[in-house]
Structure 1
């Protein structure tokens, strides 16, 4: 595969990933460079030019003292949230997918109570992960005198895929993306849209060596020196730049939240709590529950309207035929977000009441 800029992507290379074992429990105020050096010494590894050090965000949070003992996790998550993308009720509490102040869209803004050490509490993500990487990379370069890259990794789920993977929360000294547009593939066809998320691939690969349960918070990735420039380009994409936002974000809300937001019920607000947050699984909710939520969304912010709710039909009433029409349209949309379909019958003679029949929504797509 070739590029007009002269970089050759056809050359395969052997990549090795070495976990840094022997790192003691990290505490507030500890130097991350000292933490990495402790792992290097315990593992008998000397850094070489082009190495990439991948460090778990947890050790960065611990060293920076980013921990809170507030027992109310919802309040902690809210403080670390830019806006809510999706929310579901599970086991008596609400789980929210949010745009975190650290940058990525992830569950609970990355607030985590696992592997917090002897002091417990909730670990928070640094709000500027790239700056954490920059400071660590600069100190390691000063100490070891070789060209290096640093990635701060964290764990997140992905749209449309089951399970979690590690990704690059912060990046410095590593080309975060490999833009192949304008080059050709192995068959000589021009590449139009391919941009590899190199930093995410490295973070995910390193996690296979670090693991989640073995207390190994860092690893050295070797063999990818072509992605470690001699000097950092301040205009190059970094961790925060890998987050899609604004018009480039095709997935700004979940299915339910997109409909509700259009009807005036933003996720993460008291209005959303009032109308009811859907459960994580449809099997956790009866049809009557789902219809009730849809009706409350439909009636939200409407000047007048009544609803007699059943599991298979809803009788709507309004002061005028116009208001009734508005309610029917809103209810049909709200039902769709609950994987249900509403079909209005003939209105009453005065145009102020109608029965909406509720059925399972026809769809070519499997239900969650």
Structure 2
């Protein structure tokens, strides 16, 4: 009979320090473990056991400066920054706040870094438990925010002994439709399930999910397969990178035109965005006429900048443009970009 999933906390592990044997701590406090269980292990105790701590001043500006240096060392690139909050990509490839550096559940003179290789950490744990006759799956979890959604959830940073993804592509749903995109990140779902009984303040760093099929086999590819490569990531650019790329594109706009008609609404938005709503005559959505208000050399230079700014605003609306100058001004041909 299928009893579904159970999520069980492992109590009694207590504080973990560098060099501690996590396999011993877990098995001593969970003698009821059995083959096929999935252990969801908080990355913090993995990091502590592996000595991934950095000593910093307890308070004051010296602490802030030290934390900034640690953050820079753990960062591959800054994705976004707002006030004191930095969203960065770590050297592992994770995109998360403050590179996952944590100051909670540790004394004030230390910061906890992420494990150097969470998948390898998971494999070592799985192997250590296998030596004791327990064939289980391991998920090394940590907390992340999500783009476009409030609140935090736990996700998998590392995994061993279970498939990280359940691939439904090629299957037929109950209505006869073939699934073509559905890949479920089951190790993330297991990490989130484990957090329901671990909590943030209860000192329960390990949870056991019982009843998940397929756990306890070989190491498998780990959580690294959940990291989307830049080529297939539609949101890979951070805010600063996107701004820099947009400015570079605006600085080198080619004269281009297509046979695709431009949207009159989009053209109007671009004119307003460029701040030229009183200086541009719209002959048609496809033709704009610009006349310099000041024919002096300085005025003509400003006019050229205005025309380019308008073309950049058109490009931001997905519109192509080509400009021609004559003795009385400029005519811009506008079309939808190919």
Q: Determine if the TM-score, normalized by the shorter chain, exceeds 0.5.
A: yes
What are the residue-to-residue correspondences of 1:234-253 with 2, within 5 Å? 236=221, 238-253=222-237
Measured in 2, the distance between the counterparts of 1:210 and 1:15 equals 16
Measured in 2, the distance between the counterparts of 1:193 and 1:13 equals 29
Closer/same/farther in 2, CA of residues 120 and 37 from structure 1, 3 Å limit: farther
Deviation at 1:325, TM superposition (A): 3.8
1:220 aligns with 2:208: yes
Measured in 1, the distance between the counterparts of 2:154 and 2:204 equals 14
Which residue of structure 2 lines up, in the alignment, with residue 307 of structure 1? none
Task: Compute the RMSD of aligned alpha carbons.
Answer: 2.9
Determine if contact 2:137/2:217 at 8 Å carries over to the other structure. Answer: no
- Number of residue-to-residue matches in the alignment: 265
Determine if contact 1:113/1:123 at 8 Å carries over to the other structure. Answer: yes
Which residue of structure 1 lines up, in the alignment, with residue 164 of structure 2? 176
Measured in 2, the distance between the counterparts of 1:317 and 1:66 equals 61
Measured in 2, the distance between the counterparts of 1:203 and 1:317 equals 63
Closer/same/farther in 2, CA of residues 150 and 159 from structure 1, 3 Å limit: same
Report which of the two structures shows the higher radius of gyration computed on alpha carbons. 2
CA deviations 1:266-318 (Å, max 9, x no partner) are xxxxxxxxxxxxxxxxxxxxxxxxx9xxxxxxxxxxxxxxxxxxxxxxxx989
Q: Secondary structure at the match of 2:171?
A: coil
Determine if contact 1:97/1:106 at 8 Å carries over to the other structure. Answer: yes
Closer/same/farther in 2, CA of residues 254 and 184 from structure 1, 3 Å limit: same
Measured in 2, the distance between the counterparts of 1:127 and 1:326 equals 48
Deviation at 1:160, TM superposition (A): 1.1
- Gaps (5+ residues) in structure 1? 1-10, 266-290, 292-315, 337-348, 352-368
Measured in 2, the distance between the counterparts of 1:147 and 1:115 equals 30
Which residue of structure 2 lines up, in the alignment, with residue 124 of structure 1? 113
Which residue of structure 2 lines up, in the alignment, with residue 287 of structure 1? none
Measured in 2, the distance between the counterparts of 1:114 and 1:350 equals 67
Deviation at 1:102, TM superposition (A): 3.0
1:153 aligns with 2:147: no
Determine if contact 1:61/1:67 at 8 Å carries over to the other structure. Answer: yes
Q: 2:4 aligns with which of 14, 17, 40?
A: 14
Deviation at 1:84, TM superposition (A): 1.4
Which residue of structure 2 lines up, in the alignment, with residue 47 of structure 1? 33
- TM-score normalised according to structure 2 size: 0.71
Closer/same/farther in 2, CA of residues 63 and 329 from structure 1, 3 Å limit: farther
Measured in 2, the distance between the counterparts of 1:252 and 1:100 equals 13
What are the residue-to-residue correspondences of 1:315-326 with 2, within 5 Å? 319=301, 321-326=303-308
Closer/same/farther in 2, CA of residues 321 and 119 from structure 1, 3 Å limit: closer
Deviation at 1:67, TM superposition (A): 1.1
1:81 aligns with 2:71: no
Determine if contact 2:162/2:218 at 8 Å carries over to the other structure. Answer: no
- Gaps (5+ residues) in structure 2? 57-62, 250-272, 274-297, 318-326, 330-338
Which residue of structure 1 lines up, in the alignment, with residue 322 of structure 2? none
- TM-score normalised according to structure 1 size: 0.65
Which residue of structure 1 lines up, in the alignment, with residue 260 of structure 2? none
